[in-house]
Structure 1
Amino acid sequence: MSEVEPIRARHVAIIMDGNGRWAKKRHMPRALGHQRGVEAVRKVVRGARDLGLEALTIYAFSTENWRRPDDEVSDLMTLMKRFILSDLDEFVEAGIRLKIIGDYKAFKPDVVELIEQALVRTAANTGTALAVALNYGSHDEIARAASAAAAKGAITSQSIAAELDTADLPPLDLLIRTSGEERLSNFLLWQAAYAELYFTDVLWPDFTADHLKEAMEAFATRERRYGGR
């Protein structure tokens, strides 16, 4: 009898949680935790490419993050700009296609300009799609998608799905959350309907490409029934 071939994830999403706790455990400023978190993003994106993922979606800034102190929001925006400026050439060379989900145009003009330049420069790439959720909330996404579907005709699950921010990406296979928390926090609620969930105690700044590989290996052992038997 031949062995059943393990299932392979095409699209993985990550809720990157634990920057603040990482810094607090080390008696460091919270901003340093976010900085180390960006370094983790860099390593994981490279790992996703090496593992052959078609799409990686990361939760970078939610619609609720505006409630954080102004200095923390400012630090996050500064880190975002540095990340784009320092890594864009590598993305282009590696064939990574950058995609933004959420309303990034709510950010300051200089941030918006950098994002749009990065989108243009990577648009023709055919490697791993890196979808970055910026000013993103799933409730908002579903409401926008339903409104767009209604403007075109009947509202069905198919017509709503066609208007989601992720409509051009493969279906979500695996959703990872770091830091030990076990909730979705308004992230990809529609897309996660039949995705596998994977929770780890590792704080995001400590998360590596090896941890991503472990999660994907765990995914490969699961049986996906989509409501059937």
Structure 2
Amino acid sequence: MFRSTAPKIIPAVVTFALLFSGCGVLNLPPASTETNAEGTPVTSAPPTSSSPPSSTAATEPTGNTSHHEDSVYTPATNKAPAQNPPQPKIYDESTELTARGLSYATMDWMVSHNYAVTTGDSTVARAAIDSKTLPAFIEMYDTYDEVYLQDSWIVGGIMYLEPAPKSFAETEQPGVYSMNVRYGRECGSWTIDHTETYECTEGSRDIPATIFARFTGERWVIEDLLFAPA
């Protein structure tokens, strides 16, 4: 599990948060998902619009009247924050106690995380995880929220998670299941008062990791994200 003792102020957590969240300057939008033959989501090319095809599983907007179907997602730049990012929602499939259910829940978390990065609204992302077992992500969301409260924004910051449903298995802990994923992050920066304060040199893709999640009887709660030993 991630652990951090960094104080919750922006200068102290810049490197920490960017390292694990993958804030990036490549300006790639969140990966969309499509269902495969097994009916589980898989990552595909980034969307060019917030209104993906009906087969898209994790980036479909919530139907909020303020988020029009023809709104086009525009990634953040050093001159302006992102516009019309895909809004998070919880799909019916995400509530199933199946490999398919955890796959959808994983992608739901990815979209909600990316929404927090691009808007400073981490409400759905926080609800997707266990704050006690993933305090590092809670610390990230505190930081992201503060960035936007200061009239600033994050450039990039996109996290990618591609689940492998066939690896779905119950752990020794009752109610807790695991699933292998491929993790990715884009390198990048954010601005404070319109001045760049952090920039890294490269991101990562296709990092093997494992998601651990608890099924509450109604939904999945992500409890951990562990990376395979190097």
Scaled to the shorter chain, the TM-score interval is: under 0.3
Which of the two has higher C-alpha Rg? 1
Q: TM-score, normalised by structure 1?
A: 0.27
Higher percent of residues as helix: 1
Higher percent of residues as strand: 2
Which structure is higher in RCO with an 8 Å CA cutoff and minimum separation 6?
1
